[in-house]
Amino acid sequence: MKKLLNIGLPIIVIVLLIITLFAGHKINKKNSASKKKEIFNLTQQLQAKNDQISIVQKFFLQNNKNINDVVSPNYINFSEIFKDRNLGNFENYTISKYKTNDILFNANIKALASAYIDFYNEDSDIILATSDGVFASGKLNDINKFKKIKSNIASLVKFEDFYVNDQYGVKDILVDSDIIYVSLIGEKEKNCHDLKIIKSKINKEFLDFEIFYETLECVNKKNKHGFRAHQGAGGRMVKKNNSSILFTTGEFRNRPLAQDLNSNYGKILDIDTFSKEAKIISLGHRNPQGLYYSNKYDFIISTEHGPKGGDEVNLNKNPLKLIKNFGWPISSYGEHYHKNYSKEILDQAPLNDSHKKYGFTEPIKYFVPSIGISEIVPLDKNDIEFFIGAMGSEIIEKDLGLHYIKFDENRDKITDHDYVLLNERVRDMVVSQDRKTIVLFLETSGSIAIIKKIK
């Protein structure tokens, strides 16, 4: 029987993958017409197939194996979809796109495959990490083949949901010289989750990770506000200087934690890379998914998901002088998903429109309806122009693409805002040091896109 299973499982995997890929293609196609009913039905089908793949993955994990090694043991291959097309109405940029079928798991049910990326080796190489902890490296000038890198992540992250459930998994990677940092959702205790950062010296044969940082407390799934890992993890990292990195944390939907100075959650933290001690830079965050620090001009710009509406772009000038409070869940331009919360919950999370009226810092920009906001990257060396990724699922709401914003010279207000449709959920972005190349991971189809500045 066991021998029969060993023969049959790879075939089952292939069949499931074909069905899943077909469903993902249909979702992408239907999105272009914004047909909600069809999207919903296909999403349900995709969920069912993902559940089946997860069952097979659980079987492999029980036998100390991984389904990814069966489908593609050595490489993650990408095939060219198109090359050097104009980027919408941005005449000074071109975009190329490369798709893979070798990434099996996603970070959202409306995605086919999810991964995070960063430059390495003077921006000539790219390191990739899938949401379920598979690592690979490739060349920017030869994007078609990424060689897988083995690691010891399974010895550090042992709870099963990390590898099979789209709510958990990797949340970001950061390469600093020859070190890679990986943020992820951990399980400190049974049914009590935390955020961790693991690190390893980069070795393209094997990544030997160790725990670098973990939040002091964990968030119990059983709390009055509920628990949603994928809606409140944060996990973005950027280098602040040679001795510290900035790290965003969400509140896993335990909303009051964002206003609690004794909690690590709902914050932007400054972590010393030597002592590993963290201090709070700002609080009142729901789920910060984009982060950039301008060392030249000393400001943080972050993006975060609102609830139903109210995605925010937040600007924090001179962040070390004063801990700023961005208001969540006292203030938000979004609203609760449900209307039947108790008085106690609504008193703790009233979601007042105004921030300033309640003593909080107003967002520099907010989106109603939400765009499914994600990563932010600078486009110029003066840190005035930026691209912001949008996930979501509605083209009419300007999801599934890139938002362009431009600040005035003092970076006090946004003077220009534009949008380009990609028909893809933009999960991650990274920009080269010269600001001329942007690499994106597009998770609706499981693709890498390369945007180049040509003027």
pTM reported for the whole predicted model: 0.91
- Average pLDDT in the 369-386 region? 96
| Average pLDDT, rounded, for the chain | 90
Distance CA 200, CA 111 (A): 28
168 touches 151 (CB < 8 A): no
Q: How far apart are CA 452 and CA 434, in angstroms?
A: 11
* DSSP 3-state of 351: coil
37 pLDDT tier (thresholds 50, 70, 90): low
Opening angle at CA 16, ends 67 and 170, nearest 5: 45
Between 132 and 15, where is the model more confident? Answer: 132
Separation between Cα atoms, residue 220 and residue 190, nearest integer Å: 9
Confidence of residue 175 (pLDDT cuts 50, 70, 90): very high
The mean pLDDT value for 126-154 works out to: 96
Q: Are 278 and 247 in contact (CB under 8 A)?
A: yes
The radius of gyration of the chain from alpha carbons, rounded to an integer in Å, stands at 21
Q: How far apart are CA 54 and CA 162, in angstroms?
A: 11
| CB contact set of 259 (below 8 Å; sequence gap of 6+) | 266, 283, 284, 325, 328, 329, 330
Confidence of residue 2 (pLDDT cuts 50, 70, 90): very low
Strand ranges, E, within 154-287: 170-176, 179-189, 192-201, 206-207, 210-214, 219-220, 234-241, 244-249, 267-272, 278-283
Largest CA distance in the chain: 70
CA distance 325 to 267: 9
Residues 6+ apart with CB under 8 A from 81: 97, 98, 99, 447
Are the C-beta atoms of 354 and 328 separated by less than 8 Å? no
Our CA angle for 36, 38, 42, nearest 5°, is 115
Measured CA to CA, the distance from residue 234 to residue 228 in angstroms comes to 12
Burial (CB < 10 A; 0-12, 13-18, 19+), residue 83, is exposed
SS3 category, 82? strand
Whether the CB-CB separation of 150 and 206 falls below 8 Å is answered with yes
Give a three-class secondary structure readout of 99-147. Answer: ECCCCCCCCCCCCCCCEEEEEECCCCEEEEEECCCCEEEEECCEEEEEE
- What percentage of the chain carries pLDDT values higher than 70? 90
For residue 152, what pLDDT band results from cuts at 50, 70 and 90? very high
Tokens (6 digits) for 145: 């083949």
pLDDT in tens, 253-282: 999 999 999 999 999 999 999 999 999 999
Q: Is 160 helix (H, G, I), strand (E, B) or coil?
A: coil
448 has a pLDDT exceeding 80: yes
Predicted local confidence at residue 197, as pLDDT:
98
71: which strand partners?
Answer: none
pLDDT in tens, 208-237: 999 999 999 999 998 888 888 877 789 999
pLDDT exceeds 70 at position 161: yes
- What is the pLDDT, as a whole number, of residue 11? 52
Q: Which of 52-61, 83-92, 313-322 has the lowest mean pLDDT?
A: 52-61
**CA–CA dist 290, 312 (Å, integer):** 10
Residue 23, pLDDT above cutoff 60: no
User: What does the pLDDT read at residue 339?
Assistant: 81
Terminal-residue alpha carbon distance, the chain: 63
- The pLDDT assigned to 230 comes to 76
Q: Identify whether the C-beta of residue 318 lies closer than 8 Å to the C-beta of residue 299.
A: yes
Residue 238 confidence (pLDDT): 98
pLDDT digits (tens, 9 = 90+) for 176-203: 999 999 999 999 999 999 999 999 999 9
Other C-beta atoms within 10 Å of 369: how many? 17
In whole angstroms, give the CA distance from residue 22 to residue 107: 18
